Each structure stands twice: as C-alpha cells, then as structure tokens.
Amino acid sequence: MTSKLLTGLVAATYTAFNADGSLNLDPIGAHADLLVRNGVTGVFVCGSTGEGVSMTTEERMSHFKRWCEVAKGSLKLIAHVGHNSIGDARALAAHAAKSGADAIATVGPSVLRPATLADLVDWCAAVAGAAPETPYYYYHIPVLTQLRFNMAQFMDMARERIPTFAGIKFTDENLMEFANCVARNQTNMLFGRDEVLLSGLVAGADGAIGSTFNYSAPIFNKVIAAYEKGDMAAAQKLMTRARDSVQILLDFGGGPAGKTMLKLCGIDCGPSRLPLRSLSLERVDALRARLEAFGWDDIRCH
Ligand code: MN9
C-alpha cells in the first residue's frame, strides 16, 4: 500500500509474568504465531498494554531480545523504550537497536513533565540519539501521560531535531489533531484508539497499534478491508461489532481483562503486575459468559 514502515494492525503485546511475579518469556513464540496467523503485521513491545513501565530495565532488555528473535522476518517490532530516567531510556534504546528492533518508541516523561513542547522534543531527541540508525516513534497517550502537546506542532519540531523521527502512535480521540498530522504527509501515522479505528482510517491512518489486536484482529482486519474496498456501509457494520467487543473489555476494566481475553485465545500471559490487579475467578467467568453471549468466538483470533 505504501512504503511506510508500519501498516495494517500492530498488536501492543501483553507481557507474560509467572505466578510469582517474575518475567516469563515462554509464551512469546506461540503469541507471535497467533498474531501472524491472524494477519497482524507487527508488535509494539513493552508499551502501556505490555506494562513496560512496571518492568525493570533488565527485564525489558531480555523481553525485547526474545521478541526480536521470534519476530524476525514475520512481524515488525517496535520496542517501547520510554522511561522516566533518560539514562535508562537511552540504554533501552541502544539495546533494542542492537537486538534488531525495526523501530523504537517512547512516551514522554510523565511524573516530572516537560513544561514546553521544545523540552519534550529535546528529551525525545536525546533518547532517539542512543539508537541513531533506528526509526523513532513518539507514543502520544495523554490519558496516561497527561502530556497534551499538539501533535502536529510536535511533528514539525521533531522533524527538525530528531533525524530518525518516523511517526506517531496516536492514542487519543482528537481526530482533528490526528488529521493535521496526516496532512503533513511526511511521517508514518498509527492510530491507537481501537474502538474508533474506522474514524482513524478515514482521517488517513497508515495503520493502527492497539491492545485488542492481540485477540480480536480478524474483525479489525475486516474493517480495514471493507474500508479499502470503498464499502463504507459494510465497514461501519463491522466496526460496530468491533466497537461492541471493545466495550466488553472496557466494562471489565481494560488492561488485565485484555490479558484474560488473550488467554481465552490460548496464550496465557499470567497475572498482571501491581499496581494493576488481575481479574478474580468470578470476574473471569463473568467475562467469559459475556463474550459467549456476544458471539466473540466468530470475530476473535484462532
Ligand atoms: O494504545 C491502547 N491504549 C491503552 C493503545 O491501553 C490505554 C488501546 O489499544 C486501548 O487498549 C484500546 C481499548 O481502549 O483502544
């Protein structure tokens, strides 16, 4: 479709932990197989869905290394290296590049926040500079970071100051701002609000990065296919089904419920790490019943 690095659906992967809370690299192979089988084009590793900021730097490094080995040749890999410590973020960026990541990404620092757009861009440039050959994506997710800089302005400044700047993972509903980024037509724009993906496509998204593509990729791929065919009525109908499935996730609290949905597709990523709380057995049963009543089996990954 385009020469852009990332297109189609990129899954923001969950990270597997053992019952004792330690990192578990074992499910990564089967997880990658599931994604490839269901038409996912890439993985965004250790982002917010992957609880990256709840992991140690060492854990993130071994996780990236394993994912890079597994994804090689079949999935594009974006390593999320954002960290409140610029030193750790740089170390993660250099390590991800050495491990063979196709790209790196960061959220901005989110406790001591940049006061100006220039401060944010300088911070991003410092991290991107640790992997000078690797495309860099900014991860815009204001609901989590509280960083509400205008992304079109960010893009203009980032293109001047970050030689590897490749695009934005845009997780927000502000479609005017998203479209303003697309209109600049110079970078790779990925939409990150799965429940309104069709609107992101209309605004010109090259692809999408999201959590629900781990387990519901087929329905979203159908939305994209119908949209690309120009059949908007079909796309809207499919999108309603996709959106309703995301509503179930949201009704069960997001994050950890998604891990349960992936488990229902055969990939057990274990518990979530504090401060996130895994679903109780009763909630897992209730979620399963709700998904069955919805007919999720027809739209999920197999
Ligand atoms: O950026 C994800 N955002 C969060 C990606 O996890 C906060 C999305 O994929 C959402 O999980 C999804 C459901 O709200 O759109």
Which tens digits make up the pLDDT trace of 252-287? Answer: 999 999 999 999 999 999 999 999 999 999 999 999
Mean residue pLDDT of the chain comes to: 97
Which tens digits make up the pLDDT trace of 36-71? Answer: 999 999 999 999 999 999 999 999 999 999 999 999
Contact between residue 120 and residue 108 where contact means Cβ atoms under 8 Å apart: yes
Q: pLDDT above 90 covers what percent of the chain?
A: 98
Q: Which atom belonging to ligand 1 lies closest to the Cα atom of 255?
A: 6
Which tens digits make up the pLDDT trace of 95-149? Answer: 999 999 999 999 999 999 999 999 999 999 999 999 999 999 999 999 999 999 9
Three-state secondary-structure class, residue 146: coil
Mutual angle of helices 86-99 and 57-71, in 10-degree steps: 20
245 touches ligand 1 (CB under 6 Å): no
Going from the Cα of 182 to the center of ligand 1, the distance in angstroms, rounded, reads 20
pLDDT beyond 70 at 180: yes
Q: Which atom belonging to ligand 1 lies closest to the Cα atom of 258?
A: 11
44, 48, 107: residue to mutate for ligand 1 pocket, most atoms within 8 A of CB = 48
Going from the Cα of 29 to the center of ligand 1, the distance in angstroms, rounded, reads 23
211 touches ligand 1 (CB under 6 Å): yes
246 touches ligand 1 (CB under 6 Å): yes
Contact between residue 103 and residue 64 where contact means Cβ atoms under 8 Å apart: no
Active site residues: 139, 169
pLDDT of the residue at 186: 85
9, 10, 13, 49: residue to mutate for ligand 1 pocket, most atoms within 8 A of CB = 49
Label residue 4 exposed, middle or buried (CB < 10 Å: 0-12, 13-18, 19+).
middle
Q: What is the pTM of this model?
A: 0.97
Residue whose C-alpha is closest to residue 97's, from 138, 132, 55: 132
13 touches ligand 1 (CB under 6 Å): no
pLDDT of the residue at 185: 81
pLDDT beyond 60 at 2: no
What does CATH list as the number for 8-216? Answer: 3.20.20.70
Q: Which atom belonging to ligand 1 lies closest to the Cα atom of 48?
A: 6
pLDDT of the residue at 103: 98
**Domain ranges in the chain?**
8-216
pLDDT beyond 70 at 172: yes
Cα distances (Å, whole numbers) of residue 8 to 80, 163, 190, 206, 222: 19, 25, 9, 7, 11
pLDDT of the residue at 6: 98
- For residue 3, what pLDDT band results from cuts at 50, 70 and 90? confident
8 touches ligand 1 (CB under 6 Å): no
Partners of 12 in the β-ladder: 44
Going from the Cα of 210 to the center of ligand 1, the distance in angstroms, rounded, reads 5
pLDDT of the residue at 1: 38
211, 223, 239, 276: residue to mutate for ligand 1 pocket, most atoms within 8 A of CB = 211
Going from the Cα of 244 to the center of ligand 1, the distance in angstroms, rounded, reads 14
Going from the Cα of 258 to the center of ligand 1, the distance in angstroms, rounded, reads 10
Which contacts qualify for 245-248: CB closer than 8 Å, 24 or more apart?
245/212, 245/216, 245/219, 245/294, 245/296, 245/299, 246/194, 246/195, 246/212, 246/216, 247/195, 248/287, 248/290, 248/291, 248/294, 248/296
Going from the Cα of 170 to the center of ligand 1, the distance in angstroms, rounded, reads 10
Q: Whose CA is nearest to atom 8 of ligand 1?
A: 210
